Amino acid sequence: MPARQKGPLTGIRVIELAHIMAGPVCGLMLADMGADVIKVEKVPGGDDTRRTLPPDIQGESAAFMMMNRNKRGIALDLKHADGKAALKRLLRDADVVVENYRRGTMERLGFSYDALKAENPGIILAELSGFGRDGPYADRPGFDLIAQGMSGLMSITGEGPGRPPVKVGAPVSDITAGILAAMGVLAALVERQGSGQGQRVDTSLFEAAITHTYWQSAIAFATGHSPEPMGSAHPLNAPYQAFETADGWINVGAANQANWLRLLEVLDAPELAADPRFAENSGRMDHREALVEALTPYFKRKGAAEWLEILERAGFPAGPVLSISEMHRDPQALARGMICETAHPKAGEVKTLGLPVKFSRTPGGVEGPAPLLGQHSREVLREAGFAEAEIAGLLESGALIAAPE
Protein backbone atom coordinates (compact mmCIF):
# COMPACT_ATOMS: atom_id res chain seq x y z
CA MET A 1 0.00 0.00 0.00
CA PRO A 2 1.42 3.44 -0.88
CA ALA A 3 2.34 5.99 1.77
CA ARG A 4 -0.86 7.42 3.23
CA GLN A 5 -1.79 11.04 3.63
CA LYS A 6 -2.05 11.81 7.33
CA GLY A 7 -5.69 11.64 8.34
CA PRO A 8 -7.04 12.67 11.75
CA LEU A 9 -6.88 9.04 12.96
CA THR A 10 -3.26 8.45 11.96
CA GLY A 11 -1.63 6.29 14.63
CA ILE A 12 -4.86 4.48 15.58
CA ARG A 13 -4.73 0.70 15.03
CA VAL A 14 -8.03 -1.06 14.27
CA ILE A 15 -8.55 -4.81 14.08
CA GLU A 16 -11.60 -5.53 11.93
CA LEU A 17 -13.24 -8.88 12.71
CA ALA A 18 -16.17 -8.10 10.47
CA HIS A 19 -17.73 -9.32 7.26
CA ILE A 20 -20.26 -8.41 4.57
CA MET A 21 -21.27 -4.77 5.18
CA ALA A 22 -22.13 -3.06 8.48
CA GLY A 23 -18.82 -3.82 10.24
CA PRO A 24 -16.74 -3.20 7.11
CA VAL A 25 -18.46 0.19 6.65
CA CYS A 26 -17.29 1.12 10.14
CA GLY A 27 -13.79 -0.06 9.24
CA LEU A 28 -13.64 1.83 5.95
CA MET A 29 -14.81 5.06 7.60
CA LEU A 30 -12.00 4.76 10.15
CA ALA A 31 -9.49 3.75 7.46
CA ASP A 32 -10.40 6.69 5.24
CA MET A 33 -9.74 9.00 8.20
CA GLY A 34 -6.24 7.61 8.56
CA ALA A 35 -6.54 4.64 10.94
CA ASP A 36 -4.50 1.53 10.19
CA VAL A 37 -7.33 -0.96 9.72
CA ILE A 38 -6.25 -4.59 9.66
CA LYS A 39 -9.00 -6.79 8.29
CA VAL A 40 -8.84 -10.30 9.76
CA GLU A 41 -10.54 -12.72 7.37
CA LYS A 42 -11.61 -16.25 8.09
CA VAL A 43 -9.85 -19.37 6.83
CA PRO A 44 -10.79 -20.75 4.42
CA GLY A 45 -12.39 -18.40 1.93
CA GLY A 46 -12.18 -15.04 3.66
CA ASP A 47 -15.02 -12.52 3.86
CA ASP A 48 -18.18 -13.89 2.23
CA THR A 49 -18.38 -10.73 0.13
CA ARG A 50 -15.43 -12.07 -1.87
CA ARG A 51 -17.96 -14.51 -3.34
CA THR A 52 -20.64 -11.92 -4.03
CA LEU A 53 -20.46 -12.34 -7.79
CA PRO A 54 -21.34 -10.89 -10.24
CA PRO A 55 -20.23 -8.19 -10.74
CA ASP A 56 -16.49 -8.72 -10.74
CA ILE A 57 -13.41 -7.06 -12.18
CA GLN A 58 -10.82 -9.57 -13.38
CA GLY A 59 -12.42 -12.17 -11.11
CA GLU A 60 -12.34 -9.94 -8.00
CA SER A 61 -15.64 -9.11 -6.32
CA ALA A 62 -16.62 -5.50 -6.98
CA ALA A 63 -18.62 -5.48 -3.73
CA PHE A 64 -15.64 -6.65 -1.67
CA MET A 65 -13.32 -4.10 -3.26
CA MET A 66 -15.79 -1.29 -2.52
CA MET A 67 -16.19 -2.15 1.17
CA ASN A 68 -12.57 -2.91 1.97
CA ARG A 69 -10.36 -0.39 0.19
CA ASN A 70 -7.75 1.33 2.35
CA LYS A 71 -7.40 -1.71 4.64
CA ARG A 72 -4.64 -4.24 5.12
CA GLY A 73 -5.61 -7.90 5.14
CA ILE A 74 -4.59 -10.94 7.14
CA ALA A 75 -6.23 -14.38 7.02
CA LEU A 76 -6.38 -16.37 10.31
CA ASP A 77 -8.23 -19.52 11.29
CA LEU A 78 -9.78 -18.52 14.61
CA LYS A 79 -10.95 -22.09 15.21
CA HIS A 80 -7.29 -23.09 15.35
CA ALA A 81 -5.45 -22.57 18.64
CA ASP A 82 -2.48 -21.03 16.84
CA GLY A 83 -4.75 -18.64 14.95
CA LYS A 84 -6.38 -17.51 18.19
CA ALA A 85 -2.99 -17.03 19.81
CA ALA A 86 -1.79 -14.91 16.87
CA LEU A 87 -4.88 -12.70 17.06
CA LYS A 88 -4.45 -12.34 20.81
CA ARG A 89 -0.97 -10.90 20.25
CA LEU A 90 -2.28 -8.49 17.63
CA LEU A 91 -5.00 -7.26 19.99
CA ARG A 92 -2.56 -6.34 22.76
CA ASP A 93 -1.48 -3.23 20.88
CA ALA A 94 -4.77 -2.41 19.14
CA ASP A 95 -6.86 0.66 19.87
CA VAL A 96 -10.12 -0.60 18.42
CA VAL A 97 -11.77 -3.91 17.54
CA VAL A 98 -14.74 -3.95 15.17
CA GLU A 99 -16.89 -7.09 15.07
CA ASN A 100 -20.31 -8.02 13.69
CA TYR A 101 -20.63 -11.67 14.68
CA ARG A 102 -23.74 -13.21 16.22
CA ARG A 103 -24.02 -12.68 19.99
CA GLY A 104 -21.76 -15.04 21.91
CA THR A 105 -19.30 -15.69 19.09
CA MET A 106 -16.55 -13.48 20.50
CA GLU A 107 -17.02 -15.13 23.90
CA ARG A 108 -16.78 -18.62 22.42
CA LEU A 109 -13.58 -17.64 20.63
CA GLY A 110 -12.10 -16.35 23.87
CA PHE A 111 -12.28 -12.68 22.92
CA SER A 112 -15.03 -11.32 25.16
CA TYR A 113 -14.74 -7.68 26.12
CA ASP A 114 -13.61 -8.67 29.60
CA ALA A 115 -10.85 -10.86 28.11
CA LEU A 116 -9.77 -8.08 25.75
CA LYS A 117 -9.80 -5.51 28.55
CA ALA A 118 -7.71 -7.74 30.81
CA GLU A 119 -4.93 -7.71 28.21
CA ASN A 120 -5.46 -4.15 26.96
CA PRO A 121 -7.42 -1.81 29.30
CA GLY A 122 -7.62 0.93 26.68
CA ILE A 123 -9.17 -1.20 23.94
CA ILE A 124 -12.48 -0.13 22.39
CA LEU A 125 -14.78 -2.90 21.18
CA ALA A 126 -17.31 -1.85 18.53
CA GLU A 127 -20.10 -4.40 18.27
CA LEU A 128 -22.53 -4.30 15.35
CA SER A 129 -25.47 -6.69 15.20
CA GLY A 130 -28.99 -7.05 13.91
CA PHE A 131 -30.76 -5.87 17.05
CA GLY A 132 -28.15 -4.96 19.67
CA ARG A 133 -26.42 -6.98 22.37
CA ASP A 134 -29.33 -7.01 24.80
CA GLY A 135 -33.13 -7.03 24.69
CA PRO A 136 -35.54 -9.77 23.58
CA TYR A 137 -34.23 -9.85 19.98
CA ALA A 138 -30.52 -9.92 20.82
CA ASP A 139 -30.06 -13.48 19.54
CA ARG A 140 -31.90 -12.99 16.27
CA PRO A 141 -29.96 -12.84 13.02
CA GLY A 142 -30.20 -9.45 11.36
CA PHE A 143 -30.26 -8.32 7.75
CA ASP A 144 -30.93 -4.94 6.19
CA LEU A 145 -34.27 -6.06 4.74
CA ILE A 146 -35.48 -7.29 8.13
CA ALA A 147 -34.35 -4.11 9.88
CA GLN A 148 -36.06 -1.91 7.30
CA GLY A 149 -39.31 -3.78 7.78
CA MET A 150 -39.26 -3.79 11.57
CA SER A 151 -38.14 -0.15 11.91
CA GLY A 152 -41.16 1.14 10.00
CA LEU A 153 -39.09 2.29 7.02
CA MET A 154 -40.86 0.00 4.58
CA SER A 155 -44.25 1.30 5.73
CA ILE A 156 -43.35 4.83 4.60
CA THR A 157 -41.45 3.93 1.40
CA GLY A 158 -43.25 3.50 -1.92
CA GLU A 159 -45.66 5.27 -4.22
CA GLY A 160 -48.60 5.51 -1.85
CA PRO A 161 -51.02 3.79 0.53
CA GLY A 162 -52.33 0.35 -0.39
CA ARG A 163 -49.33 -0.57 -2.53
CA PRO A 164 -46.90 -3.44 -1.79
CA PRO A 165 -44.22 -2.64 0.80
CA VAL A 166 -41.01 -1.26 -0.67
CA LYS A 167 -37.57 -1.14 0.92
CA VAL A 168 -35.19 1.76 0.43
CA GLY A 169 -33.05 0.91 -2.59
CA ALA A 170 -29.76 1.23 -0.70
CA PRO A 171 -29.05 -1.00 2.34
CA VAL A 172 -29.46 2.00 4.63
CA SER A 173 -29.52 0.09 7.92
CA ASP A 174 -26.21 -1.63 7.13
CA ILE A 175 -24.52 1.56 6.00
CA THR A 176 -25.95 3.72 8.78
CA ALA A 177 -25.04 1.15 11.45
CA GLY A 178 -21.45 1.26 10.22
CA ILE A 179 -21.39 5.05 10.33
CA LEU A 180 -22.98 5.10 13.80
CA ALA A 181 -20.41 2.59 15.05
CA ALA A 182 -17.59 4.73 13.66
CA MET A 183 -19.10 7.75 15.40
CA GLY A 184 -19.25 5.77 18.64
CA VAL A 185 -15.63 4.69 18.25
CA LEU A 186 -14.55 8.31 17.79
CA ALA A 187 -16.46 9.36 20.91
CA ALA A 188 -14.87 6.52 22.89
CA LEU A 189 -11.40 7.51 21.66
CA VAL A 190 -11.99 11.09 22.84
CA GLU A 191 -13.22 9.88 26.25
CA ARG A 192 -10.21 7.56 26.57
CA GLN A 193 -7.86 10.54 26.37
CA GLY A 194 -9.07 11.55 29.83
CA SER A 195 -9.83 8.22 31.48
CA GLY A 196 -7.25 5.98 29.87
CA GLN A 197 -9.95 3.32 29.66
CA GLY A 198 -11.61 1.71 26.68
CA GLN A 199 -15.25 0.63 26.50
CA ARG A 200 -17.81 -1.24 24.44
CA VAL A 201 -19.67 0.54 21.64
CA ASP A 202 -22.88 -1.29 20.72
CA THR A 203 -25.21 -0.44 17.82
CA SER A 204 -27.44 -2.37 15.44
CA LEU A 205 -29.14 -2.42 12.07
CA PHE A 206 -32.50 -2.07 13.82
CA GLU A 207 -31.53 1.10 15.65
CA ALA A 208 -29.79 2.48 12.56
CA ALA A 209 -32.97 2.05 10.52
CA ILE A 210 -35.08 3.64 13.27
CA THR A 211 -32.96 6.81 13.09
CA HIS A 212 -34.27 7.38 9.56
CA THR A 213 -37.82 7.81 10.88
CA TYR A 214 -37.32 11.08 12.78
CA TRP A 215 -39.95 13.07 10.86
CA GLN A 216 -42.44 10.22 10.62
CA SER A 217 -42.00 9.32 14.29
CA ALA A 218 -42.61 12.96 15.22
CA ILE A 219 -45.86 12.84 13.26
CA ALA A 220 -46.94 9.57 14.90
CA PHE A 221 -46.08 10.82 18.40
CA ALA A 222 -48.07 14.00 17.81
CA THR A 223 -51.11 12.55 16.05
CA GLY A 224 -51.31 8.94 17.17
CA HIS A 225 -51.41 7.87 13.50
CA SER A 226 -48.63 6.23 11.51
CA PRO A 227 -47.69 8.07 8.30
CA GLU A 228 -48.04 6.22 5.01
CA PRO A 229 -45.89 6.22 1.85
CA MET A 230 -45.88 9.41 -0.18
CA GLY A 231 -43.67 8.59 -3.16
CA SER A 232 -41.08 11.35 -3.46
CA ALA A 233 -43.14 13.82 -1.42
CA HIS A 234 -42.29 15.20 2.03
CA PRO A 235 -44.42 14.44 5.12
CA LEU A 236 -44.26 18.05 6.40
CA ASN A 237 -43.88 20.37 3.39
CA ALA A 238 -45.41 20.81 -0.08
CA PRO A 239 -44.54 21.02 -2.88
CA TYR A 240 -41.37 19.08 -2.10
CA GLN A 241 -41.11 16.18 -4.54
CA ALA A 242 -40.35 15.04 -8.08
CA PHE A 243 -42.29 16.55 -10.96
CA GLU A 244 -42.51 15.28 -14.51
CA THR A 245 -41.29 17.66 -17.22
CA ALA A 246 -41.59 17.41 -20.99
CA ASP A 247 -38.72 14.91 -21.15
CA GLY A 248 -37.98 13.61 -17.65
CA TRP A 249 -38.22 14.20 -13.93
CA ILE A 250 -36.77 16.87 -11.66
CA ASN A 251 -36.92 17.41 -7.90
CA VAL A 252 -38.39 20.65 -6.62
CA GLY A 253 -38.03 21.77 -3.00
CA ALA A 254 -40.45 24.50 -1.96
CA ALA A 255 -39.78 23.73 1.70
CA ASN A 256 -41.01 27.10 3.02
CA GLN A 257 -43.40 29.90 2.13
CA ALA A 258 -40.76 32.08 0.50
CA ASN A 259 -39.74 29.29 -1.86
CA TRP A 260 -43.38 28.53 -2.66
CA LEU A 261 -43.98 32.11 -3.75
CA ARG A 262 -40.71 32.16 -5.69
CA LEU A 263 -41.75 28.96 -7.50
CA LEU A 264 -45.02 30.55 -8.58
CA GLU A 265 -43.08 33.50 -9.99
CA VAL A 266 -40.81 31.17 -11.97
CA LEU A 267 -43.80 29.20 -13.26
CA ASP A 268 -45.76 32.42 -14.00
CA ALA A 269 -48.71 30.97 -12.11
CA PRO A 270 -50.31 33.87 -10.19
CA GLU A 271 -53.69 32.08 -10.17
CA LEU A 272 -52.22 29.40 -7.89
CA ALA A 273 -51.09 32.07 -5.45
CA ALA A 274 -54.67 33.23 -5.25
CA ASP A 275 -56.05 29.71 -4.63
CA PRO A 276 -57.00 29.57 -0.92
CA ARG A 277 -56.21 25.84 -0.79
CA PHE A 278 -52.56 26.57 -1.50
CA ALA A 279 -52.08 29.81 0.43
CA GLU A 280 -50.29 28.17 3.37
CA ASN A 281 -48.26 25.00 3.79
CA SER A 282 -50.99 23.37 5.89
CA GLY A 283 -53.47 23.78 3.04
CA ARG A 284 -50.99 22.56 0.47
CA MET A 285 -50.40 19.43 2.56
CA ASP A 286 -54.16 18.86 2.95
CA HIS A 287 -54.65 19.24 -0.82
CA ARG A 288 -51.36 17.77 -2.01
CA GLU A 289 -52.88 15.69 -4.82
CA ALA A 290 -54.73 18.72 -6.17
CA LEU A 291 -51.53 20.76 -5.84
CA VAL A 292 -49.52 18.26 -7.88
CA GLU A 293 -52.28 18.11 -10.48
CA ALA A 294 -52.24 21.91 -10.74
CA LEU A 295 -48.45 22.24 -10.98
CA THR A 296 -47.68 19.38 -13.38
CA PRO A 297 -48.98 21.08 -16.57
CA TYR A 298 -46.60 23.98 -15.95
CA PHE A 299 -43.60 21.69 -15.61
CA LYS A 300 -44.55 19.78 -18.75
CA ARG A 301 -44.20 22.93 -20.83
CA LYS A 302 -40.40 22.61 -20.82
CA GLY A 303 -37.73 19.92 -20.62
CA ALA A 304 -35.82 19.00 -17.47
CA ALA A 305 -32.56 20.74 -18.39
CA GLU A 306 -34.33 23.98 -19.33
CA TRP A 307 -36.32 24.00 -16.10
CA LEU A 308 -33.23 23.33 -14.00
CA GLU A 309 -31.42 26.24 -15.64
CA ILE A 310 -34.38 28.56 -15.02
CA LEU A 311 -34.78 27.43 -11.41
CA GLU A 312 -31.06 27.79 -10.71
CA ARG A 313 -31.05 31.35 -12.05
CA ALA A 314 -33.95 32.11 -9.71
CA GLY A 315 -32.05 30.68 -6.74
CA PHE A 316 -34.68 28.01 -6.26
CA PRO A 317 -33.67 24.59 -4.82
CA ALA A 318 -34.09 22.00 -7.55
CA GLY A 319 -32.11 19.18 -9.08
CA PRO A 320 -32.16 16.33 -11.58
CA VAL A 321 -33.00 12.72 -10.79
CA LEU A 322 -29.73 11.04 -11.76
CA SER A 323 -28.92 7.40 -12.30
CA ILE A 324 -26.00 6.00 -10.33
CA SER A 325 -23.73 6.20 -13.38
CA GLU A 326 -24.82 9.78 -14.05
CA MET A 327 -24.00 10.63 -10.44
CA HIS A 328 -20.51 9.17 -10.97
CA ARG A 329 -19.98 11.69 -13.77
CA ASP A 330 -21.52 14.66 -11.95
CA PRO A 331 -19.04 17.58 -11.75
CA GLN A 332 -19.82 18.27 -8.09
CA ALA A 333 -19.27 14.64 -7.09
CA LEU A 334 -15.95 14.75 -8.96
CA ALA A 335 -14.95 18.11 -7.48
CA ARG A 336 -15.61 16.82 -3.96
CA GLY A 337 -13.46 13.75 -4.49
CA MET A 338 -16.36 11.33 -4.16
CA ILE A 339 -15.20 9.29 -7.16
CA CYS A 340 -11.70 7.84 -6.72
CA GLU A 341 -9.46 5.22 -8.29
CA THR A 342 -7.21 2.65 -6.64
CA ALA A 343 -4.60 0.39 -8.20
CA HIS A 344 -5.58 -3.17 -7.31
CA PRO A 345 -2.85 -5.84 -7.67
CA LYS A 346 -5.15 -8.13 -9.66
CA ALA A 347 -8.10 -6.07 -10.94
CA GLY A 348 -6.03 -3.07 -12.04
CA GLU A 349 -7.47 0.44 -11.82
CA VAL A 350 -10.68 0.20 -9.81
CA LYS A 351 -13.08 3.06 -9.14
CA THR A 352 -14.50 3.53 -5.67
CA LEU A 353 -16.33 6.13 -3.58
CA GLY A 354 -14.46 8.72 -1.58
CA LEU A 355 -14.48 10.00 1.99
CA PRO A 356 -17.60 12.14 2.54
CA VAL A 357 -15.98 14.24 5.29
CA LYS A 358 -13.24 16.73 4.45
CA PHE A 359 -10.54 17.92 6.87
CA SER A 360 -8.51 21.09 6.30
CA ARG A 361 -5.24 19.94 7.90
CA THR A 362 -5.46 16.14 7.98
CA PRO A 363 -7.20 15.17 4.77
CA GLY A 364 -7.20 11.37 4.89
CA GLY A 365 -8.94 9.85 1.87
CA VAL A 366 -8.83 6.73 -0.26
CA GLU A 367 -5.36 5.69 -1.33
CA GLY A 368 -5.14 1.91 -1.19
CA PRO A 369 -7.16 -0.91 -2.77
CA ALA A 370 -8.90 -3.76 -0.99
CA PRO A 371 -6.42 -6.48 -0.04
CA LEU A 372 -6.07 -9.87 -1.64
CA LEU A 373 -6.81 -12.70 0.79
CA GLY A 374 -3.88 -12.77 3.21
CA GLN A 375 -2.02 -10.08 1.28
CA HIS A 376 -0.55 -8.44 4.39
CA SER A 377 -0.41 -11.46 6.70
CA ARG A 378 3.38 -11.60 6.92
CA GLU A 379 3.75 -7.81 7.08
CA VAL A 380 1.26 -7.42 9.94
CA LEU A 381 2.72 -10.28 11.96
CA ARG A 382 6.27 -9.01 11.51
CA GLU A 383 5.18 -5.61 12.79
CA ALA A 384 3.68 -7.36 15.83
CA GLY A 385 7.04 -8.98 16.61
CA PHE A 386 6.51 -12.44 15.14
CA ALA A 387 9.71 -14.17 14.09
CA GLU A 388 9.97 -15.66 10.61
CA ALA A 389 9.98 -19.14 12.14
CA GLU A 390 6.70 -18.38 13.95
CA ILE A 391 5.08 -17.14 10.74
CA ALA A 392 6.30 -20.24 8.90
CA GLY A 393 4.81 -22.40 11.65
CA LEU A 394 1.43 -20.68 11.37
CA LEU A 395 1.45 -21.20 7.60
CA GLU A 396 2.42 -24.84 7.97
CA SER A 397 -0.30 -25.51 10.53
CA GLY A 398 -2.97 -23.94 8.31
CA ALA A 399 -3.81 -21.30 10.94
CA LEU A 400 -2.59 -18.55 8.59
CA ILE A 401 -2.97 -17.81 4.90
CA ALA A 402 -0.49 -15.45 3.27
CA ALA A 403 -0.34 -14.23 -0.29
CA PRO A 404 2.97 -14.96 -2.08
CA GLU A 405 5.61 -12.28 -1.57
Catalytic pick among 77, 174, 202, 286: 174
CA 218 → CA 153, 212, 230, distances in Å?
A: 14, 12, 16
Among 30, 75, 48, residue whose Cα is nearest residue 375: 75
Among 30, 65, 92, residue whose Cα is nearest residue 373: 65
CA 332 → CA 329, 337, 338, 369, distances in Å?
A: 9, 9, 9, 24
Is 174 part of the annotated catalytic residue set? yes
State the sign of the Cα–Cα–Cα–Cα dihedral 299, 300, 305, 306: negative
Residue 141, classified by CB atoms within 10 Å of its CB into exposed (0-12), middle (13-18) or buried (19+), is: exposed
Amino acid (1-letter code) at residue 82 = D
- Determine the longest span between alpha carbons in the chain, in angstroms: 85
Amino acid (1-letter code) at residue 28 = L
State the sign of the Cα–Cα–Cα–Cα dihedral 126, 128, 133, 135: positive
Q: Collect all residues with Cβ–Cβ distance below 8 Å to 323 and sequence separation of at least 6.
A: none
State the sign of the Cα–Cα–Cα–Cα dihedral 352, 29, 149, 319: negative
Angle, alpha carbons 258-262-267 (nearest 5°): 150
Catalytic residues: 174
